[in-house]
Amino acid sequence: MAYRWKNNLTPADVTPEAAYLNRRQIIGSAVAGLGLAAVGGTARAQGALEPNRFEDITSYNNYYEFGTGKDDPARNAHMLTTSPWSAKIDGLVDRPGDYAFADIMQAMTVEERIYRFRCVEAWSMVIPWNGFELADLLQMAGVQAGAKYVAFETALRPDEMPGVRFPVLDWPYVEGLRLDEAMHPLTIMATGIYGKDIPNQNGAPLRLVVPWKYGFKSIKSIVRITLTEDEPPTSWNKANPREYGFYSNVNPEVDHPRWSQASERVVGSGLFAKRQPTLMFNGYEEEVASLYAGMDLRANY
């Protein structure tokens, strides 16, 4: 496994998995190093982040295909068959086809990325993902000149996904990015957590992670990727366009119509822990703000 560390991270910054599983207290410079390095330069003034336990990451999820409760995915996602798996890549690409997950993994360079994760519901985590840059996968398929957007689709398996029996959303779940967002080096396809295969409830075997956007943009269990000239539909925007825009960048200055986005609750921080201020672009402003130069971020929410 190869590693390319972002935001001044080094291997010493990674909290050992045993520390999460056993709920050991991590003190001193190790905690400070993880908390500061993981969020990028913009977040340094905010102080160290308390790292999440492995159990937080794998038991507190939104994956409505398995139920709308936070613990439903962990309870029900074992029903999802993830091997064999393939993802169709089509549209404006030179080499369309069904790409087997095993072949993708053999061709890609897997790295560890420690990213902040911010849900639109105003809770957050810090997660150590394993994966590869989406740009590498798209380049393998050959992006054509006319492509401007990338559309994604989640598996739809009613026999394995009890949640799709209910019309919570228009199934299958779909998402999309602008091509420059998709090609940004922070955008990854996650395949693991802590060096292990990603659990089903977290989007096995292949999910998107876009750390400067709200979590629902990071679509899980991907079976299709389509390069297109037109902006693709997205599930939550179709369900309620007033509340969920196409871009969905983390922005403390643009509230959800039903709650403030100015602060967030850190999962695992305790019942009476103080909420922390939400960072512009989730702390990745220095890396991604140029993608939206000149845009009205209130209109393009």
Is 119 part of any known ligand binding site?
Answer: yes
CA distances from 206 to 8, 95, 152, 232 (A): 26, 20, 11, 20
Unique residue bearing structure tokens 């890396």 = 287
Rounded to whole angstroms, the Cα distance separating 13 from 30 reads 6
Is 154 part of any known ligand binding site?
Answer: yes
Nearest to 234 by CA among 297, 296, 149: 149
Is 89 part of any known ligand binding site?
Answer: no
Contact at 8 Å (CB) between 228 and 160?
A: no
Is 219 part of any known ligand binding site?
Answer: yes
Hey, how many other C-beta atoms are within 10 angstroms of the C-beta on 122?
18
Pairing of strands 86-91, 222-228: parallel
Beta bridge mates, 224: 88, 153
Is 64 part of any known ligand binding site?
Answer: yes
Is 88 part of any known ligand binding site?
Answer: no
Is 58 part of any known ligand binding site?
Answer: no
Q: What is the token pair recorded at 71?
A: 């613990």
Is 65 part of any known ligand binding site?
Answer: yes
Q: Indicate the annotated binding residues for Mo-molybdopterin.
A: 61, 64-65, 119, 154, 202, 207, 218-220
List binding-site positions. 61, 64-65, 119, 154, 202, 207, 218-220
